[in-house]
Amino acid sequence: MEVKSVGVLGCGLMGSGIAQVSAQSGYSTIVLEVSPEALQAGQKRIDQFLSAGVAKGKVRAEEKQAALSRLSFTTDFKSLAGCDLVVEAVVEDLAVKKETYARLDRIVKQESIFASNTSSLSITEMAAATHRPGRFVGLHFFNPVPLMKLVEVTRTIQTEPGVVEAVTSFARALGKTPIQTSDRTGFIVNRLLVPYILDAIRALEEGAGSITDIDQGMKLGCGYPMGPFTLLDLVGIDTTYFIANIMFDEFRERRFSPPPLMKRMVLAGFHGRKSGKGFYDYSVEPPRPNDFLAAR
């Protein structure tokens, strides 16, 4: 099945990036959010990313306009009825995703493909909320979507081969490099990345070093593009906390368990860059590390 029109559910950090690259690659793309305010915030994020691309000479002004003209925004599920492919990027919460898929399944044409951008939930479990488990896959993009080249394509034991081919071609058309994974919690990348970033928080809690020194250590000592706390702030402390809980629940191994500081940061609204505060305070330039653990 050839994908021509794309629906994107959720226009947060990931949904906005997925919608952007889909529209930039020539697909008519419709984005659904829960409220006009959330839609407006997502639309603004796309506009800003494209404008920054133009300013950096990476995106032509006409390309930006063409991408924006292919995008439409809605809060009405019915508007997605005719999409060939729906990519879901709503919050990492199984109950919310299952409810969303059950609703979507009643509206979107039966031959359409559903693809979840989940970081850690079971694709099989979400597919079970629909009547189309054969047309359900994982399509895991990386943050920031317009800049990161990888997409993990996850097939379940029920996914039809033609569906895997269709989403793999879609990922390639977006300029991404697809890799295949099985429906194992965390797939390939988060299986390796999540224990590392959680361990950085444990190292901080244990007093191994400061936020700045741990970040510098991994950047300059290992050549990582950013340190673990800068990365946690980029991904979202809330989202990483949900992912860690899901992975711990699945594997019952300490390396996936969220450290106590992380839970407290989520409860206190320190969600990272998107909330203006996380391991760093983004109200100042350059962002200043939040020295939570220092004696006061």
The site for ligand NAD (CB under 6 A) is made up of 9-15, 32-34, 38, 89-92, 96, 100, 117-119, 141-143, 235-236, 239, 243
> What whole-number distance in Å separates Cα of residue 275 and Cα of residue 143?
16
Tell me the H-state helices in 135-177.
161-173
Helix pair 260-267, 237-251: axis angle to 10 deg: 140
Asked about 245 being catalytic, the answer comes back as no
β-sheet bridge partners, residue 168? none
Residue 112 contacts residue 135 (beta carbons within 8 Å)? yes
> What residue 279 binds from ligand CAA, ligand NAD, none (CB within 5 to 8 A, per partner kind)?
none
Residue 171 touches which of ligand CAA, ligand NAD, none (Cβ within 5-8 Å per kind) = none
Give 5's Cβ-side CA count (13 Å radius): 14
Nearer to ligand NAD, 85 or 90 (CB): 90
Q: Which of 22, 112, 116, 119 is catalytic?
A: 119
Amino acid sitting at position 205: E
CB 64 → ligand CAA: shortest distance, Å? 10
Position 164, amino acid: V
Q: Give least dist CB 231 to ligand NAD, A.
A: 9
Contacts of 273 (CB under 8 A, 6+ apart): 233, 234, 236, 280, 282
Residue 143: active-site member? no
**What residue number has its CB nearest to ligand CAA?**
53
Q: How many CB atoms lie within 10 A of CB 123?
A: 28
**Nearest in space to 174 (alpha carbons), one of 88, 54, 87:** 87
Closest CA to 50 of 29, 71, 64: 64
Residue whose structure tokens are 């898929």: 101
CB 74, min distance to ligand CAA, A = 25
Quick check: is 152 catalytic?
A: yes
Query: Active-site residue among 16, 112, 122, 190?
Result: 190
H or E element in which residue 212 lies: helix 211-222
Residue 58 binds which entry of ligand NAD, ligand CAA, none, with Cβ cut-offs from 5 to 8 Å by kind? ligand CAA
Least Å distance between CB 76 and ligand CAA?
28
**205 tagged catalytic:** no
- Site residues (CB under 6 A) for ligand CAA? 49, 52-53, 56, 58-59, 119, 142-144, 146-148, 190, 193, 225-226, 231, 235
> Which one of ligand CAA, ligand NAD, none is in contact with 129 (Cβ closer than 5 to 8 A by kind)?
none
Nearer to ligand CAA, 58 or 184 (CB): 58
Would you name the residues annotated as active-site residues? 119, 140, 152, 190
